[in-house]
Amino acid sequence: MLSSISKVCSTIKKPFEEEGRYMMDKETFRQQGYQIIDWITEYYANIEDLPVMPDILPNAIKAKLADSAPTTAESFGDILQDFEKTILPGMTHWQHPSFFAYFPSNTSPYSLWADVLASSMNAQCMSWITSPAATELEERVMLWLRDLIGLPGSFVGVIQDGASTASLCALLSARERFSNYKINRQGFSDEKFTIYASEQAHSSIDKAVRIAGLGSEYLRKIEVDSDFALIPEKLEQAIKKDIEQGYTPLCVIAAMGTTGSTAIDPIQATGDIAKKYGLWFHIDAAYAGTALLLPEMRWMAKGAEMADSFVFNPHKWMFTNFDCSAYFVKDKDALIRTFAISPEYLKTNADEEVNNYRDWGIPLGRRFRALKLWFVLKGYGVEGIQEKLRGHLKMAQWLRKEIEQHRDFQLLAPTPLNLVCFHFRPKELSDIKTVNRLNKSIMDLLNKSGKIFLTHTSLDGVLTLRMVIAQTDVRQEQVENAWSLLQDQAKKSMEKLREGS
Ligand SMILES: *Cc1c(COP(=O)(O)O)cnc(C)c1O
């Protein structure tokens, strides 16, 4: 890849040498653009030859970087070559088809092209007037998405940078609605709000509780069942106890697909309790929400119509570039009253008739993110997206079965979607600490090999290997390869352990 790029790059002269001023002419611009497209094309075509994760020591890349910024301009060819030499070896390749770690951040050509177009215009889409098409497209595609995932027409949507931000917006809106918008004006006085989420809730909920000034001591972590889903009875008990002790239950957050194991909290039962006690009901479906594009997966969302707010991330599993988080709310007035600030210099004649998305969240400035959603939906069509999702689910279920049937591997959580949670545990090993250490070492060695990348979590104190099958174009072949690498490494590590003891 390097040699083909370098050849063409060396023919490019510095763009402004002749001009004597720092402005790029049209032909140079075009040439550089072609260079980049060529580079990306080769990158994707050869991505499987690259290690999924670099095997390098901390600070190794930093050591290769100059101590200070360049004073004089470098040629574009030199910049690209330096990128290949210095930066590329330190990248983790999230689009590698053998990337099975965390949750994915998958993308697609449609999303990428849309992001290039959006970057080229680089509109700052804070208000309708600052780019009417961006605002109106966002409004429209969010309604498309709402309908596609089966949320009722009482919801409207807005794109946020991440689920963390969206959940913070939910907590802040709840706080303001419940305090009659007083805390925005006067700060906290003697409110004693409590918040509820399961023990398996994402860390962004803890963070949001802190940032919203609610205090992490007042976040009640509700016990989960053997499937790692919230136990509604425990939730109700906690709410009752807090009321008796003079607290005001403010908000309950249900996870539709936890990060640890994609456990699905009982949405209907949680919603019923939220309604009974008058709490704001937020659903964090950051990863799994994409599956709702499949009618056969809608069972997960039964009761979601009761929610006050709902978030899922097209930037995880819906082939849309990071960042793009879809946040839906029922009471958009509460959201806007929480965030709207209209200084004179931002007022326009259209304010009564249009959405100004700067008032629907935290940052003032916003990128044109709706464009990539629009391109993805048009490029694949709903059917195309559904087909890809079904493929991912099917491959994950294949892997689940293989693990289930293997004598020495064990599933550690249900597999409602495409995340498989498991460990290697031959019968002869009884001590869980040894099992955990063994599995950690299997994972580290596999990741170090660069052939695949997987990560772990802890479930009930058991080190759990996680494999997510959701890379845009991942094929059965790569999943089978990963499974065979896992078995080989497990066997080797076990032999080593036997020798050692
Ligand atoms: C990934 C994830 C988040 C955080 O999403 P960001 O967009 O990175 O903020 C929150 N909740 C769950 C369940 C997640 O899986």
Write the pLDDT tens digit of every residue in 355-378: 999 999 999 999 999 999 999 999
Q: Which residues lie below 8 Å from residue 481, measured CB to CB, with a gap of 6+?
A: 98, 451, 452
Specify the pLDDT at position 17: 53
Contact 103, 392 (CB under 8 A): no
Whether pLDDT at 416 is above 90: yes
Q: What is the 3-state secondary structure (H, E, C) of 449-460?
A: HCCCECEEEEEC
Distances (CA, A) of 497 to 455, 491, 493: 22, 10, 6
Which pLDDT band, with edges at 50, 70 and 90, does 8 fall under? very low
Whether pLDDT at 18 is above 90: no
Residue 105 carries which DSSP code? Answer: -
Is the CB of 164 within 6 Å of ligand 1? yes
Token reading at 257: 């697909």
CA–centroid distance, residue 382 to ligand 1 (Å): 24
Choose the weakest-confidence range: 177-191, 278-292, 312-326, 334-348. 334-348
Q: Which helix (H) or strand (E) holds 24?
A: none
Q: Which helix (H) or strand (E) holds 255?
A: strand 248-255
CA–centroid distance, residue 295 to ligand 1 (Å): 23
Is the CB of 293 within 6 Å of ligand 1? no
Contact 183, 191 (CB under 8 A): yes
- Using one digit for the tens of pLDDT, what is the confidence trace for 52-111? 999 999 999 999 999 999 999 999 999 999 999 999 999 999 999 999 999 999 999 999
Q: Which amino acid is at 108?
A: S
Q: Please tell me the residue having the least CA distance from ligand 1 atom 12.
A: 286
Whether pLDDT at 114 is above 60: yes
Is the CB of 313 within 6 Å of ligand 1? yes
Q: How many CA atoms lie within 13 A of 432 on its CB side?
A: 7
CA–centroid distance, residue 197 to ligand 1 (Å): 14
Is the CB of 368 within 6 Å of ligand 1? no
Separation between Cα atoms, residue 280 and residue 239, nearest integer Å: 13
Mean pLDDT, the chain, integer: 94
Separation between Cα atoms, residue 199 and residue 151, nearest integer Å: 26
Q: Please tell me the residue having the least CA distance from ligand 1 atom 2.
A: 286
If phi > 0 it is left, if psi is from -120 to 50 it is alpha, else beta; for residue 150 that is left
Distances (CA, A) of 224 to 167, 208, 252, 422: 21, 21, 14, 19
Specify the pLDDT at position 2: 47
Contact 271, 281 (CB under 8 A): yes
Specify the pLDDT at position 352: 79
Contact 222, 238 (CB under 8 A): yes
- Using one digit for the tens of pLDDT, what is the confidence trace for 228-275? 999 999 999 999 999 999 999 999 999 999 999 999 999 999 999 999
pTM of the model: 0.94
Ligand 1 atom nearest to 316, measured from its CA: 1
Ligand 1 atom nearest to 287, measured from its CA: 15
Q: Please tell me the residue having the least CA distance from ligand 1 atom 1.
A: 286
Specify the pLDDT at position 20: 57
Specify the pLDDT at position 9: 47
Query: Is the Cα torsion angle 287, 292, 297, 303 positive or negative in sign?
Result: positive
Separation between Cα atoms, residue 143 and residue 156, nearest integer Å: 7
Rg (CA), the chain: 25
Q: Please tell me the residue having the least CA distance from ligand 1 atom 7.
A: 162
Contact 304, 278 (CB under 8 A): no
Of 321, 254, 237, 323, the residue nearest 289 (C-alpha): 254
Is the CB of 255 within 6 Å of ligand 1? yes
Separation between Cα atoms, residue 156 and residue 352, nearest integer Å: 17
CA dihedral 421, 426, 427, 428 (to 10 degrees): -140
Q: Please tell me the residue having the least CA distance from ligand 1 atom 8.
A: 162
- Using one digit for the tens of pLDDT, what is the confidence trace for 203-216? 999 999 999 999 99
Distances (CA, A) of 147 to 134, 156, 294: 20, 10, 12
Token reading at 293: 């594009």
Of 203, 178, 213, the residue nearest 253 (C-alpha): 203
**Best probe residue, ligand 1, of 204, 253, 323, 417 (max atoms within 8 Å of C-beta):** 204
Contact 345, 498 (CB under 8 A): no
CA–centroid distance, residue 165 to ligand 1 (Å): 9
On the 0-12 / 13-18 / 19+ scale of CB atoms within 10 A, 479 is buried
CA–centroid distance, residue 462 to ligand 1 (Å): 22
Is the CB of 314 within 6 Å of ligand 1? no
Is the CB of 259 within 6 Å of ligand 1? yes
CA–centroid distance, residue 291 to ligand 1 (Å): 15
Phi, psi of 345 (to 5 degrees): -70, -10
Specify the pLDDT at position 190: 87
Specify the pLDDT at position 412: 98
Q: Which residues lie below 8 Å from residue 365, measured CB to CB, with a gap of 6+?
A: 124, 126, 358
Which residue's structure tokens are 């330096």? 82
Longest dimension (CA), the chain: 79
Is the CB of 229 within 6 Å of ligand 1? no
Q: Which residues lie below 8 Å from residue 373, measured CB to CB, with a gap of 6+?
A: 141, 145, 159, 314, 320, 324
**Best probe residue, ligand 1, of 287, 309, 312, 327 (max atoms within 8 Å of C-beta):** 287
